Chain A
Amino acid sequence: MDFTLKIWRQEGPQEEGRMETYPVTGITNDMSFLEMMDVLNDKLIRDGQDPVAFDHDCREGICGMCSMFINGEAHGPNRKTTTCQLHMRSFKDGETIYIEPWRASAFPVVKDLAVDRGAFDRIIQSGGYVSVNSSGNPLDGNAIPVPKADADDAFNAATCIGCGACVATCKNASAMLFVSAKVSQLALLPQGQPERMNRVQRMVDQMDKEGFGNCTNTGACEVECPKGISLDNIARMNRDYLKSQVTGE
């Protein structure tokens, strides 16, 4: 298969960016999208041009490092799929494919398609944890039974890979789905209760400080999330946040 790629090129955070056009040929059905990018870069290097910088690591959909806006959709056309798990069989031979970085002021471009998602780390640092030291003698793992439904819901929230697709896809560049996933995971488990109210306040405050937009409940984040993180988490976070404001805990 052959494709025409329109790719965002940007030298560094301070430089102006632009779309550039590149043809790629000899692509096969079972190549992943990133392998198609490898083919392009191989050719660019051999031609003495600057290869396209993009983030990627595990290439099995779990590390959350890959991040491309493909034809106007975060991680491309398929649902519940990261860019690394997207395969070229999802495209038509001869198609023109537009590839852009995540666009949000809280995610500045590092180079080309790679962005800085340090804001997500700082949000977790603001309270996305249970304050427990590794002393070697906490309660036995089975000391507190956790209802299976709660454990499963907490797990589902915890499967967030922190890729930032939710922010990139939101018209407000809101990080509510990401933040609420962590808030929910810990709010649903007995271990998360002591710091529950404090946690939601600190994490929401940090989210605002980082310059993410507000949530207007359009739900695009849930649609584009490669892990299918549910909007219910945002509702849970809003409830906890409101409660924490009212009770002043």
Chain B
Amino acid sequence: MTEMPKHSVALDAKTPEGPLADKWTNHKNNIRLVNPSNKRLIDVIVVGTGLAGSSAAASLAEMGYNVKAFCFQDSPRRAHSIAAQGGINAAKNYQNDGDSVYRLFYDTIKGGDYRSREANVYRLAEVSANIIDQCVSQGVPFARDYGGMLDNRSFGGVQVSRTFYAKGQTGQQLLLGAYSALSRQISKGKVTMYNRHELMDVVVVDGKARGIIARNLVTGEVERHGAHAVVMCSGGYGNVFFLSTNAMGSNVSAAWKAHKKGAYMANPSYTQIHPTCIPVSGHYQSKLTLMSESLRNDGRIWVPKHESDVEGLRNGSIRPTDIPEDRRDYYLERRYPAFGNLVPRDVASRAAKERCDAGFGVNEAGEAVFLDYASAIERYGKTEANVQGIPAPSAEKIRELGEAVVRAKYGNLFQMYEQITADNPYKTPMRIFPAVHYTMGGLWVDYNLQTTVPGLYACGEANFSDHGSNRLGASALMQGLADGYFVLPYTIGDYLADDIRTGPISTDTPEFEQAEQAVKDRVASLLGNNGKTPVDDFHRRLGRIMWEHCGMSRNAEGLTQAIADIQALREEFEKDVCVPGRADRYNPELDKAGRVSDLMELGELMCKDALERKESCGGHFREEYQTPEGEALRDDKGHAHVSAWAFTGTPAEATHHKEELKFENVELKTRSYK
């Protein structure tokens, strides 16, 4: 069905020469520009309207390009960036705690376990401060202190306070800021917005991305859209695990179609398993809910020291608050005294798994640990009593004051926990467990954020570029907005400078014709399949395979098995999937069928990627490669590279390309948070 890309692209990151700190400035000074009157002659398609997509679409339109933006939701404001809770990092050093661009760069490289590109990460740190200024100027209501200045908090894997936040709704506030910028350009007619539209294919003409095939999800109409460049801001693919903290609609299809048209997929197996989510409760559970990492600022994580207490908790004979301090194992504080509860996510998740595997899980399924706020409530209560000048406050008064402070900081998170679990987290510790949250892998891009298909760009979570094998907390929002506001708008000009004389891209060509027909055929075959099994059934089974073999820990045998299992599942899907309804109506089951079909193929590639990487790094933990203490064992000689995969027809047969990672400014060390 898919035409193989005829062009051949060398894996050159196109990192500019010169000292690390000057690369971005020099690059901006040297790349080509498109003059304002020529920008009006150029069309750009942006797929997805999360932080990366909204900010890219708005910025490109402000500069003068004609933009078409697409989202599958009913409004651009609903993209999943909206659910990000904790915050956004920026090297402002407002807290005077020694932060700097270099330190943010270093923390991100180290946090990513030395598997990201130095120059990209440095640029990210460099533009981070601009993001805060930009958002403030848009009217994003960040948290402020009593002096009216911006407030900060800490996140995992760092020893400074550089995270800006708006309660536990930072993603919402940033996205609404970008959405308002986008709305302003829509009102000017510089952006044409296509809501409830799904990307069905990328159209490549003469080796260049020249448009897309989209499907109107309400009418079912299949549409051709031409443009001089296409920008993928379609987010991550955590839903390959079925259960994740991603929104139900989050999917890989846009990126996967691009992959099938020649864009390499980089490090697809790098998955972030977030340590603090609400545990799974039942078979029909459709998604998992994150409890923000910011809770680890003040919460303490523990399990009982003794199996008898675990037993008591599981059979309900004791409550967590009945277990005295000396019978509790604050295992993160024990294992990692320097960072304690604020170790990076991969480390915290694996430590939780280790305790649960050892039999200390605190719920019936044995898959939960406690996140306890009792000591924070007491500490804040005492401080508050002093502030209010209350002499010799009672324990009850301290509790009341402490709870009020915690409510002001994390109120919406505590409320959400209570709504889902019917437990009051002010009175009893929360039960949490790791869950799939973010995917560091994605479309391979060079320094300009261009994929291996000329004219096809990828921003935000959809690309692989900045987080290595583990993303630090509060860095996803930073990267999405950095790419969309401050990187892509510059770098894309260098490519588009060749297109000022091209004129409008015609969609009346064999390439568009062919792509459109393939989409229509696929829709018809899904609907006419006469199978018996609903799409969700396949999705759940895919999720189980992935979680078991390509989740928190992986081994060669399991991954090999998983590839075979997924191939069998894909075959069964083609034979037996049941997709009801019609093509010319709003039909969410049909949309889901296409997405799950792509997720299965991606899952196969993820397992292949995990199999190839014979080391443990960041979120990728291969059981065969660990230290005697159970810490990840990296192989810098054999694997200090990005794995980029080219599609050849079957995911497991993808060809492997490498981008060697050169570290000229940091020394590769064993990551230690002890």
Interface residues of A (CB under 8 A from B): 11-12, 28, 30-32, 34-35, 38-39, 41-42, 44-46, 48-51, 53, 55-65, 78, 80-81, 85, 87, 89, 110-111, 114, 116-118, 120-121, 124-126, 128-134, 136-142, 145-148, 151-152, 154-155, 158-159, 161-162, 185-186, 189, 191-192
Contacts and interface: CB of A to CB of B under 8 A. Distances in A.
15 contacts: A30-B422, A32-B286, A57-B73, A58-B83, A65-B74, A89-B422, A124-B183, A125-B184, A125-B186, A126-B187, A132-B134, A137-B133, A147-B144, A148-B148, A151-B141
A140 B93 CA distance: 13
B532 interface: yes
B179 A124 contact: yes
Nearest to B579: A45
Contacts of A62: 82-83, 169, 171-172
B166 A125 contact: no
A134 B55 contact: yes
Contacts of A129: 138-139, 180-181, 183-184
A133 B134 CA distance: 8
B485 interface: yes
A93 B149 CA distance: 52
Contacts of A111: 585-586
B532 to A, nearest CB: 7
Contacts of B166: 155, 158
Contacts of A63: 73, 78, 80, 82-83, 247
Interface in B173-195: 173, 176, 179-181, 183-184, 186-187, 193, 195
A35 to B, nearest CB: 5
The 5 closest A-B pairs by CB, nearest first: A145-B148, A129-B180, A155-B141, A138-B137, A125-B187
Contacts of B287: 59-60
B419 A132 contact: no
Contacts of A128: 180, 183
B83 A130 contact: no
B130 interface: yes
A145 B248 contact: no
Q: Helix, strand, loop or mixed for chain A's interface?
A: loop
Contacts of B59: 133-134
A111 B580 CA distance: 15
Contact of A57 (B130, B136, B248, B284): B248
Interface string B628-641: 00000000000000
A181 to B, nearest CB: 11
B144 A151 contact: yes
A148 B75 contact: no
A35 B486 contact: no
Contacts of B142: 141, 151
A120 B75 contact: yes
Nearest to B166: A155
Given A34-B286, A35-B286, A148 B144 contact: yes
Contacts of A140: 133
B250 to A, nearest CB: 8
A85 B588 CA distance: 21
A28 B422 CA distance: 14
A138 B133 contact: yes
A46 B282 contact: no
Given A138-B134, A158-B173, A60 B83 contact: yes
A141 B133 contact: yes
A110 B284 contact: no
A65 B142 CA distance: 24
B588 A53 contact: yes
Contacts of B218: 110
Contact of B281 (A30, A39, A159): A30
A28 B141 contact: no
Interface of B: 55, 58-59, 62, 73-78, 80, 82-83, 92, 94, 127, 130, 132-139, 141-150, 166-167, 169, 171-173, 176, 179-181, 183-184, 186-187, 193, 195, 218, 245, 247-249, 281-282, 284-287, 289-290, 415-416, 419-422, 485-486, 489, 532, 534, 536-537, 578, 580-581, 585-589
A48 B136 CA distance: 52
A87 B247 contact: no
A53 B196 CA distance: 14
A200 B245 CA distance: 37
A57 to B, nearest CB: 4
A177 to B, nearest CB: 16
Nearest to A13: B218
A142 B149 contact: yes
B146 A148 contact: yes
Contacts of A50: 580-581
Given A34-B286, A134-B55, A148-B148, A65 B73 contact: yes
Contact of B133 (A80, A116, A133, A139): A139
Give the residue among A110, A139, A151, A192 with the most B Cβ atoms within 10 A. Answer: A151
Nearest to A49: B580
Contacts of A138: 133-134, 136-137
Contacts of A56: 248
A121 B77 contact: yes
B78 A134 contact: no
A158 B169 CA distance: 10
Contact of B285 (A35, A44, A55, A185): A35
B534 A46 contact: yes
Given A111-B586, A151-B142, 18 more contacts: A30-B281, A32-B286, A42-B536, A49-B580, A50-B580, A58-B78, A58-B83, A60-B416, A63-B82, A65-B78, A85-B419, A85-B420, A128-B183, A130-B138, A132-B137, A134-B62, A155-B166, A158-B176
B180 A130 contact: yes
Given A130-B138, A154-B141, A55 B173 contact: no
A162 B82 CA distance: 12
A51 B245 CA distance: 25
A131 B61 CA distance: 13
A162 B75 contact: yes
Given A134-B181, A148-B145, A60 B289 contact: yes
A240 to B, nearest CB: 15
B134 A121 contact: no
Contacts of A81: 419
A145 B134 CA distance: 15
A87 B141 contact: no
A42 B540 CA distance: 13
Contacts of A45: 534, 578, 580, 589
Contacts of B138: 129-130, 132, 191
Nearest to A48: B580
A146 B132 CA distance: 15
Contacts of A192: 139
